Structure formats: C-alpha cells, structure tokens
C-alpha cells in the first residue's frame, strides 16, 4: 500500500513537472496576479491624503476669507493646488473646462466679495441676537463657493472631497463668527473683554486606533490586505490543472489501468492530494516571499508576517486542502476537459467575488453579504485577515481551519462516492 502510494506520488510529480506550461501557470501567473493587483489596489487603499488630488483654485475674493481658505487648501495635504493653467490665471469658464477635460479632479472658485458677504451675514445675525427689535428685513444672500468636480470621479471620492472642503470653510466661518462676536461684545461691554478672543483650537478630538487582538503592532496597508486575498485566489486556481490532470488520466485510460492494479481509488486520489498540497504550499511560500522582499522594490510596504509564520502556514494548508478537494470533485464529475476548465475557472471567480476578494463583504448588498458565508474563499480570507491584520493566534483560526477541512473532506467524499456510483450505475 505504502509502496504503491509512493509510486503514485512519483508518477503525479513527474506528470506535473513535465508539463512546463501548466507549472508556469501555477507559479508565474499567481505571482504576476499578486504583483499587479497589489500595485493597482495600493493607490485606492492609501489614505486620500497621499494621492495628491489635482485642484485648480481661482480666488476672486482676495480678502481675509478667500486668503485664509486658499491658505488652508494649500496647507492641506489633500490637494496638489494649481492657481494657473499654462502660466495664466484662468477665469471661471477655463476652470470648468479644465476639470471637464480631466486635467484636474477639482476646480474651486472663491467668489468675488466672499469675505464681505459672510461678514455682513454674520453681523446681521449678531444684530438680531443683540437687538431683535432692529431685525433686518432680509437675512441677506447666501454665499456659494463653486466646486467643479471631474464627472468620472466616484461618489465616495466626491463625498470625501466635499467633506474636507466643508470642514475647512466651516472652521473659517466659525473663526469669523467668533471674532465678530468678540468685537460686538467688546463694543457693548468694553470692561468685560480687554482684548479680542480668538478661537484657539478645536475642543473635540478623535483618538483612532486599530482594534487588534493581543499586542499586534501591524498597521493595515494594501499589502497586508491584498497579498492574502490574491494568494488564496491563486491557490484556488489549482482546481483547473488538478481537474484537468484527472480528466486526462481518465481519458488516456491510465485510471482504468490503475484500477485493475492492487491500489484503491482512494490511494490514487491521496497521491494527488499530497502532490498538489506541496504545489499549493510552494505557491504560498513564493507569494509570501514576494510580499516580504519583492513588493517593497515597487514602493509598496513590505508584508509583515513577524511571529505569524506558523499560524499562516496552517491556514495556507487548510486553504490548499479545500482547493484540492474542490478540484477533485470537479475532475470526477466533469466529463470533458473543456467542461472542467470552464466550470472550474468561472466557479472560482464567483466564489472569490462573493467571498470578498475583490470587494469587501461589508460594502456588499445584504443578499450578497448573506451569500458570502457559503464561499470557502470568504472563510479563508477572514482567517488570513485575522492572522495578518488582527494578530490572531492558532486558537483564533482553529474554527476557520476546521470549516475548510470539512469542505475539503466533503468534496473528496463526493468525488469518491460519485466514482463508485458511476461504476455501479453504468
């Protein structure tokens, strides 16, 4: 039994390594996938501050509000501010055209007389507060900043920008209100305030911290998020060559020959499990090494796996088993190579999509969120995130590993019983 198993492993290894194209697909493609996707997603994952959004500013006010706002915008690391287009200060139409053509993501216009307008509004309001009997007939016109946005920008991006702009203008407005209020008070009560009160600083602050288990110091970044996601996507793509190898073995008559020999269907399958488990593990090691050593060469943060290698390895083996089990079920049930290749690739893409590989599960519609729990890629992704981002230890990911191994066992049992069923019912 053991000798037969070793020979089967030898055979499956030789078949695999002689298929140079297939082997390249198993290692080069996942490596390329991780490299490209991590680079692509890095820009969207980075804080918006780091992106340097191009803003064309037209300050027609040139008074205190306009100058303060301009200064705030320039000092803000959110924008890369331009005041000229081709060495010329643009007018409003040119600003709009420049944004419409995509040269700038945002065009910001501070209208003429903005300071005057806001001051008079605030004074009116204060007058109403202190002398309601002298209420002005009209509250005055509202003041509008014109913000032109590139139409191809996403809604979330626009909302972020608007929120930043609104925050800045509100702060300036508050400062003006405060200075006008102190001026009014000092006028009315000259003994109460000896010098004008200035709004020194904000009173409410937020202290943000990532909620991690234990004393994990790993800072989430695009690499910590993308490397595990695309690693397990790549591991699951082992389904295609595995199912293909099984169908080829069956079509060539080798499986039938093996089944006339003193070796069971179980040992034929076990040999494949062992060989492909090694392949998946090597894939994982390769991609992990890329995350640690190669990605930093592309200006990406290095993958931080400090102290987590053992837990990660257990998780990778559980994922590999799930992928191999799935591949075996497809390889047994599919009748042709084409059928297996198409079904395997599309189903892995679907499982990855609903599993949160491309779009995080929490932003999915409720139905998709519920569906995501059926995807083993979702379990695995959560397991990897638990380890790499939340600092989980083995006991924390044990249940995820058990789910994955149960999935693998179920698929393998389907494979074995379907084979038996076919033999009995032909």
Considering only residues 51, 186, 254, 308, which one is a binding residue for other proteins as defined by CB under 8 A? 254
Q: Which residues 19-78 are close enough to bind other proteins by CB under 8 A?
A: 19
- Applying CB under 8 A, which of residues 187, 257, 289, 345 lies at the interface with other proteins? 257
Could you say whether residue 352 binds other proteins (CB under 8 A)?
A: no
Would you count residue 424 as binding other proteins (CB under 8 A)? yes
**Minimum CB distance to other proteins, residue 260 (Å):** 4
Q: CA of 200: how far to CAs of 69, 111, 182, 316, 387, in Å?
A: 17, 27, 13, 54, 43
Q: How many residues bind other proteins (CB under 8 A)?
A: 27
Choose the stretch contacting other proteins; rule: CB under 8 A; options: 126-134, 261-269, 316-324, 398-406: 261-269
The answer to the question of residue 235 lying near other proteins (CB under 8 A) is no
d(CA 118, CA 329): 71
Residue 33: which H helix or E strand, with range? helix 20-45
Q: How far is the CB of 419 from other proteins (least distance, A)?
A: 12
Q: Is 207 in the site for other proteins (CB under 8 A)?
A: no
> Is residue 15 within the footprint of other proteins (CB under 8 A)?
yes
How far out from the chain centre does Cα 323 lie?
23
Task: Candidates 6-14, 150-158, 322-330, 335-343: pick the segment binding other proteins (CB under 8 A).
Answer: 6-14
260 is a contact residue toward other proteins (CB under 8 A): yes
Q: CA angle at residue 256 from 4 to 270, to 5 degrees?
A: 40
336 binding other proteins? (CB under 8 A): no
Binds other proteins by CB under 8 A, chosen from 263, 273, 320, 341: 263
Asked if 188 touches other proteins (CB under 8 A), the answer is no
Q: Note whether 4 binds other proteins by CB under 8 A.
A: yes
Among 155, 203, 261, 367, binds other proteins (CB under 8 A): 261
Q: Which residues contact 105 (CB under 8 A, 6 or more apart)?
A: 53, 54, 55, 99, 149, 150, 153, 161
Min. distance of Cβ 3 from other proteins in angstroms? 6
- Judged by CB under 8 A, does residue 2 bind other proteins? no
Closer to other proteins at the Cβ: 186 or 267? Answer: 267
Give me the residue label for tokens 């010098």: 195
- In the complex with other proteins, the residue whose CB is nearer, 152 or 426, is 426
**Helix (H) / strand (E) containing 107:** strand 106-110
d(CA 355, CA 241): 22
Contact residue for other proteins among 151, 253, 365, 366 (CB under 8 A): 253
CA distance 232 to 235: 5
Among 256, 342, 359, 406, the residue binding other proteins under the rule CB under 8 A is 256
CB-based burial label for 4 (10 Å; 0-12, 13-18, 19+): middle
* Structural contact between residues 84 and 121, judged by C-beta atoms closer than 8 angstroms: no
Q: What does each C-alpha distance from 125 to 71, 175, 187, 220, 415 come to in angstroms?
A: 27, 15, 16, 47, 78
CB of 424 to other proteins, least distance (A): 6
If one asks whether residue 262 binds other proteins (CB under 8 A), the answer comes out as: yes
Answer yes or no: are the C-beta atoms of 316 and 281 closer than 8 Å: yes
Q: Rounded to an integer, what distance in angstroms lies between the CA atom of residue 79 and that of residue 107? A: 11
Tokens of 252: 């060539």
Which is nearer to other proteins, 268 or 387 (by Cβ)?
268
Q: Are 354 and 368 in contact (CB under 8 A)?
A: yes
Interaction of residue 426 with other proteins, rule CB under 8 A: yes
CB of 160 to other proteins, least distance (A): 55
Q: Does 132 bind other proteins (CB under 8 A)?
A: no
Alpha-carbon distance of 160 to 258, in angstroms, equals: 63
Contacting positions for other proteins (CB under 8 A): 3-4, 6-8, 10-11, 14-15, 18-19, 252-254, 256-264, 423-426
């Amino acid at each position: 039994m053991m000798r037969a198993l070793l020979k089967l492993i030898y055979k499956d290894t030789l078949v695999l390594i002689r298929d140079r194209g297939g082997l390249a697909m198993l290692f080069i493609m996942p490596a390329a996938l991780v490299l490209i996707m991590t680079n692509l997603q890095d820009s969207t994952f980075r804080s918006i501050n780091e992106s340097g959004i191009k803003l064309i500013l037209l300050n027609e006010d040139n008074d205190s509000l306009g100058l303060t706002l301009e200064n705030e915008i320039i000092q803000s690391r959110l924008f890369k501010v331009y005041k000229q287009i081709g060495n010329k200060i643009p007018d409003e139409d040119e600003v709009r055209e420049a944004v419409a053509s995509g040269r700038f993501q945002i065009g910001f216009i501070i209208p003429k007389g903005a300071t005057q307008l806001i001051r008079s509004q605030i004074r009116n309001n204060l007058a109403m507060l202190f002398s309601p009997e002298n209420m002005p007939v009209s509250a005055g016109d509202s003041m509008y900043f014109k913000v032109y946005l590139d139409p191809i920008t996403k809604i979330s991006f626009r909302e972020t920008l608007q929120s930043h702009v609104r925050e800045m203008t509100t702060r300036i407005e508050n400062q003006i209100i405060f200075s006008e209020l102190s001026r009014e008070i000092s006028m009315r009560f000259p003994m109460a305030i000896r010098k004008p009160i200035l709004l020194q600083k904000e009173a409410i602050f937020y202290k943000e911290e990532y909620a991690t288990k234990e004393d994990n110091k790993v800072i989430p970044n695009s690499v910590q998020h993308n490397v595990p996601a695309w690693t397990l996507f790549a591991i699951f793509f082992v389904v295609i060559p595995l199912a293909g190898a099984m169908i080829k073995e069956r079509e060539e008559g080798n499986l039938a020959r093996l089944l006339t020999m003193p070796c069971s269907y179980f040992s034929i399958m076990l040999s494949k499990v062992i060989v492909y488990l090694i392949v998946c593990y090597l894939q994982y090691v390769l991609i992990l090494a890329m995350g640690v050593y190669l990605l930093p060469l592309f200006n990406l943060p290095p993958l931080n796996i400090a102290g987590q290698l053992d837990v990660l390895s257990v998780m990778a083996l559980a994922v590999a088993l799930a992928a191999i089990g799935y591949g075996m079920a497809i390889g047994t049930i599919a009748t042709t190579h084409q059928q297996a290749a198409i079904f395997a690739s599309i189903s892995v893409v679907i499982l990855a999509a609903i599993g949160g590989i491309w779009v995080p599960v929490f932003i999915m519609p409720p139905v998709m969120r519920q569906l995501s729990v059926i995807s083993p890629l979702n379990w695995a992704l959560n397991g990897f995130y638990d380890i790499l981002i939340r600092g989980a230890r083995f006991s924390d990911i044990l249940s995820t590993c058990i789910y994955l191994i149960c999935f693998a066992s179920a698929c393998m049992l389907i494979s074995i019983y379907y084979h038996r069923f076919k033999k009995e019912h032909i």
